[in-house]
C-alpha cells in the first residue's frame, strides 16, 4: 500500500478531517517543520529529565533542613515533584518563540499546542495538589485539565454547543447540561471561597480575647452557615434558575429532612441553644451520665451535631448535643473554677481526735493545688461503729488538672502523718452473740 492509498482510507480521512478542523492538516503533519517540532519536543523531554535528576538530590537535601514550617515545606515538596513539567514548559516556550520568529505561525502549531498542554498541566497539577483532600484535588485537576485541553485545541466552543443542546425544560426554565456544569463549577468555587472566608473569620475570632468562647463558636457557625447558603443561592441564580420553579421540589426535600433527619436537626438546634445560654463552652470541665457510663473531661469542641469531650485517658468522647439538653450535666467551671473536695477519714476511739484533726490540716499545707483561701477545715462528722468519723474539706481552682489525683495525694500524705504519729485507722469491728434454744454440753478432757 502506497502512502497516497493509506491517506485515502475512510478512517484516515475522518481523522484528517477532524485534525484539519482544529488547525492541523496533512501538509503540516507530514512536513519537515512537523519533524522539527517533534524533534524539539523530544529534546526538551530528554534535557528536562537530565536536569531533574541532577538537581533532585540537592533540592531534597535543602528541604530536609527546613524545620518548624510545615506549610512552606509542603508547598516546596509539591513544587519539587513537578519540576520536570516546569523545565519542559520553559524549554518548549523557548523553542516555540524561536520557531515562531523564523517561520510562519502554521509551521509552529504542533509545538504551540504541546507547550500549552505542558504549561497547563504544570499549573493545574501544582495548585490542585495544594488542596489536602486527595479526592477533591483529583476531581479539580481532571476537570480543569479537560477544559484547558479543549481550549488549547480549539474545541471548547464546539463542546459548549454539544452540552448546550442537551437540555430540558422545568417550570418554564431551560436547563441544559452546560448550565448544570457551569452551576456546579460556580457552586464549588463559591463554597470553597466561603469555607476559606469562614476559616479566616474563625481564626480572627479566636484571637479576640474580648469575646467569650461560646460566642466565638456561635458566630463562626452562623457565619459559615450564611456563607454556604449565599454560595448556593448565587450559583443557582447565576445560571438563570428561577427559585419559584424549585418550590415544590424544595418543599418535598424539606418534608424528607423533617422526617428522616430529626436527630440531626435536633442535635443542630441543641448545639445552638447550648451556645446561646452559655451552659457549656469550650474549655469547661464537665461530668455527664451517658448510656456507656459517666463521662468526665474537658469540652474540646462544640460541633454542629456533637460535642467533643476529652477524658483523662486522652480519648475523646463525641456526645450528641441533645444529650446535654435532656440529661443533667455537672459543669465544674460554669461560673467559676473553684471546687471543694471532701475527704472522709476515720480514726480509732483511742486516738487524740484534736491531734488527728491537726494532722489532716497539715497534710494539705504543702499541696500546691490546694487553695489557702478559703482555708481548709477538718470537721468531726459523727461517731461510727468502729471509728470517729472526720471529714477534711479543701478547695482547688484547677479542676481541669483532675480532682481524683489531688485527693489521692492528700490521702497519701495523711497516711504518712498517721503512721509517724502511731494513729490507727481502724477496720470495722463487730461483736458476735450466739443464741440457741437447744442445750448442748461442753466436755473437757481430764
- At 43-53, the pLDDT tens digits run 888 988 898 88
With 60 as the cut, is the pLDDT of residue 245 above it?
Answer: no
Please tell me the least confidently modeled range out of 24-28, 72-76, 92-96, 190-194. Answer: 24-28
Please, are residues 322 and 274 in contact by the beta-carbon 8 Å criterion?
A: no
Angstrom distance (rounded) from CA 83 to CA 90: 11
pLDDT digits (tens, 9 = 90+) for 140-194: 888 888 888 888 777 777 777 877 777 767 656 677 777 777 777 777 777 778 8
Q: What is the pLDDT of residue 206?
A: 74
pLDDT digits (tens, 9 = 90+) for 314-365: 778 888 888 888 778 887 777 777 888 888 998 888 888 889 889 988 888 8
DSSP state of 375: P
Q: What is the pLDDT of residue 28?
A: 52
SS3 content of the chain, % helix, strand, coil (to 5): 60, 15, 25
Report how far Cα 225 is from the mean position of its chain's Cα atoms: 17
The average confidence (pLDDT) of the chain is 77
Q: What is the pLDDT of residue 13?
A: 53
SS3 267: helix
Q: Which residue has the higher pLDDT, 218 or 23?
A: 218
Q: What is the pLDDT of residue 274?
A: 77
Q: What is the pLDDT of residue 171?
A: 58
With 80 as the cut, is the pLDDT of residue 84 above it?
Answer: yes
With 80 as the cut, is the pLDDT of residue 233 above it?
Answer: no
Grid cell of 43 as nine digits: 529534546
Question: What are the structural domains of the chain?
Answer: 10-163 (no CATH), 169-260 (1.10.287), 282-329 (2.30.30.60), 339-420 (3.30.70.100)
Strand partners, 170: 173
- The stretch 223-252 carries a mean pLDDT of 67
Q: What is the pLDDT of residue 71?
A: 77
169: left (phi over 0), alpha (psi -120 to 50) or beta: beta
pLDDT digits (tens, 9 = 90+) for 399-446: 777 788 888 999 999 999 888 888 888 877 666 666 666 665 666 665
122-125: long-range pairs with CB below 8 Å, 24+? 122/82, 122/85, 122/86, 122/88, 122/89, 124/148, 125/82, 125/85
Q: Which residue has the cell 515562531?
A: 100
pLDDT band at 79 (very low <50, low <70, confident <90, very high): confident
Q: What is the pLDDT of residue 14?
A: 53
Q: What is the pLDDT of residue 412?
A: 92
Q: What is the pLDDT of residue 446?
A: 56
pLDDT band at 220 (very low <50, low <70, confident <90, very high): confident
Q: What is the pLDDT of residue 292?
A: 65
> In 3D, which of 284, 255, 260, 265 has the Cα closest to residue 322?
265
Amino acid at each position: 500500500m502506497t502512502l497516497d492509498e493509506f491517506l485515502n482510507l475512510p478512517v484516515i480521512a475522518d481523522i484528517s478531517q477532524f485534525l484539519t478542523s482544529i488547525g492541523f492538516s496533512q501538509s503540516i503533519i507530514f512536513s519537515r517543520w512537523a519533524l522539527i517540532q517533534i524533534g524539539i519536543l523530544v529534546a526538551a523531554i530528554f534535557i528536562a529529565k537530565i536536569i531533574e535528576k541532577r538537581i533532585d538530590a540537592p533540592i531534597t537535601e535543602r528541604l530536609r533542613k527546613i524545620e518548624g514550617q510545615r506549610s512552606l515545606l509542603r508547598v516546596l515538596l509539591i513544587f519539587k515533584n513537578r519540576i520536570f513539567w516546569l523545565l519542559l514548559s520553559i524549554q518548549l516556550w523557548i523553542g516555540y518563540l524561536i520557531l515562531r520568529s523564523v517561520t510562519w505561525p502554521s509551521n509552529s502549531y504542533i509545538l504551540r499546542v504541546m507547550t500549552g498542554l505542558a504549561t497547563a498541566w504544570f499549573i493545574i497539577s501544582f495548585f490542585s495538589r495544594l488542596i489536602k483532600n486527595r479526592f477533591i484535588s483529583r476531581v479539580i485537576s481532571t476537570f480543569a485539565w479537560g477544559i484547558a485541553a479543549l481550549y488549547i485545541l480549539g474545541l471548547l466552543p464546539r463542546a459548549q454547543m454539544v452540552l448546550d443542546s442537551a437540555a430540558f425544560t422545568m417550570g418554564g426554565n431551560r436547563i441544559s447540561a452546560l448550565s448544570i456544569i457551569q452551576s456546579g463549577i460556580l457552586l464549588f468555587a463559591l463554597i470553597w471561597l466561603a469555607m476559606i472566608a469562614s476559616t479566616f473569620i474563625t481564626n480572627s475570632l479566636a484571637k479576640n480575647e474580648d469575646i467569650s468562647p461560646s460566642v466565638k463558636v456561635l458566630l463562626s457557625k452562623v457565619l459559615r452557615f450564611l456563607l454556604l447558603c449565599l454560595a448556593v443561592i448565587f450559583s443557582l441564580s447565576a445560571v438563570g434558575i428561577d427559585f419559584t420553579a424549585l418550590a415544590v421540589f424544595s418543599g418535598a426535600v424539606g418534608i424528607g429532612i423533617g422526617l428522616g433527619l430529626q436527630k440531626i436537626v435536633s442535635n443542630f438546634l441543641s448545639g445552638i441553644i447550648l451556645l446561646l445560654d452559655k451552659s457549656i463552652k469550650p474549655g469547661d470541665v464537665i461530668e455527664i451520665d451517658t448510656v456507656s457510663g459517666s463521662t468526665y473531661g474537658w469540652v474540646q469542641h462544640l460541633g454542629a451535631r456533637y460535642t467533643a469531650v476529652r477524658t483523662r485517658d486522652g480519648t475523646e468522647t463525641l456526645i450528641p448535643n441533645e444529650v446535654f439538653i435532656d440529661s443533667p450535666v455537672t459543669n465544674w467551671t460554669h461560673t467559676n473554677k473553684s471546687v471543694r473536695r471532701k475527704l472522709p477519714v476515720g480514726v480509732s476511739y483511742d486516738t487524740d481526735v484534736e491531734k488527728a484533726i491537726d494532722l489532716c490540716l497539715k497534710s494539705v499545707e504543702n499541696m500546691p493545688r490546694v487553695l489557702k483561701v478559703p482555708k481548709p477545715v477538718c470537721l468531726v462528722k459523727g461517731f461510727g461503729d468502729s471509728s470517729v468519723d472526720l471529714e477534711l474539706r479543701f478547695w482547688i481552682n484547677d479542676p481541669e488538672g483532675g480532682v481524683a489525683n489531688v485527693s489521692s495525694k492528700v490521702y497519701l500524705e495523711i497516711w504518712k502523718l498517721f503512721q509517724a504519729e502511731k494513729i490507727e485507722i481502724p477496720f470495722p469491728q463487730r461483736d458476735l452473740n450466739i443464741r440457741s434454744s437447744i442445750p448442748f454440753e461442753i466436755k473437757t478432757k481430764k
